[in-house]
């Protein structure tokens, strides 16, 4: 509690190395709140500023925090090929409305090793003509990999876009057996 007896939001973060490059993981007492690709110093600083503004508190680097320990363990297991599903508490406070609805459906309804089309996902949330809006929701996903926006592809067989870059999307889909491993 702070000096006025109010519960203060605490945000902790760390950067973990993965097969797709460094990921910034941030968590609150409610759960994992943000996963950010390509966590270079510049990306990290921009992310931390954005989190401070959005969540009203300065994020604290805390790689040994109990709030992050399980997320780190599950990410390591996922990239080692030992985990197919993330079982983490998630803090959805960075996303709302249609985007949250789409991302929740994606998280619960598109399992490891499978893909879904943008239009199909739009239909699942009762908006069959909202494929473009689903694309926007994917681009605003604050929890990539855990909420698997890499599993959303174009209906014509194209890979579609990806905030982490197409090479990252290909690597994630290859890890899950949807695409062959890149040759180089």
Please list the active-site residues. Answer: 149
* Pairwise CA distance, residues 131 & 114, whole Å: 18
Spatial separation of the C-alpha atoms in residues 48 and 27, rounded to whole Å: 12
The three-class DSSP label of residue 117 is strand
Under DSSP, is residue 78 helix (H, G, I), strand (E, B) or coil? helix
Rounded to whole angstroms, how far apart are CA atoms 174 and 182? Answer: 8
**Residue 11, CA distances (Å) to 26, 60, 91, 107 in order:** 7, 6, 11, 23
List, in order, residues 6 or more apart from 35 with CB less than 8 Å away: 23, 24, 25, 26, 142, 143, 144, 145, 146
């Amino acid at each position: 509690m702070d000096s006025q007896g109010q519960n203060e939001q605490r945000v902790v973060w760390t950067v973990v190395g993965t097969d797709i490059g460094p990921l910034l993981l941030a968590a609150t007492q409610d759960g994992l709140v943000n996963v950010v690709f390509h966590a270079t110093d510049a990306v990290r600083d921009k992310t931390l500023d954005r989190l401070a503004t959005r969540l009203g508190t300065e994020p604290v680097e805390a790689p040994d925090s109990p709030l992050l320990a399980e997320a780190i363990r599950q990410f390591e297991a996922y990239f080692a090929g030992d985990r197919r599903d993330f079982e983490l508490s998630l803090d959805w406070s960075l996303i709302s409305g249609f985007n949250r609805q789409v991302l929740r459906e994606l998280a619960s309804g598109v399992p490891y090793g499978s893909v879904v089309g943008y239009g199909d996902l739009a239909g699942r949330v009762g908006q069959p003509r909202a494929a473009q809006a689903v694309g926007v929701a994917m681009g605003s996903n604050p929890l990539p990999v855990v909420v698997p926006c890499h599993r959303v592809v174009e209906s014509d067989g194209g890979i579609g876009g990806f905030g982490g870059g197409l090479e990252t999307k290909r690597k994630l889909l290859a890890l899950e057996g949807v695409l062959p491993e890149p040759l180089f």
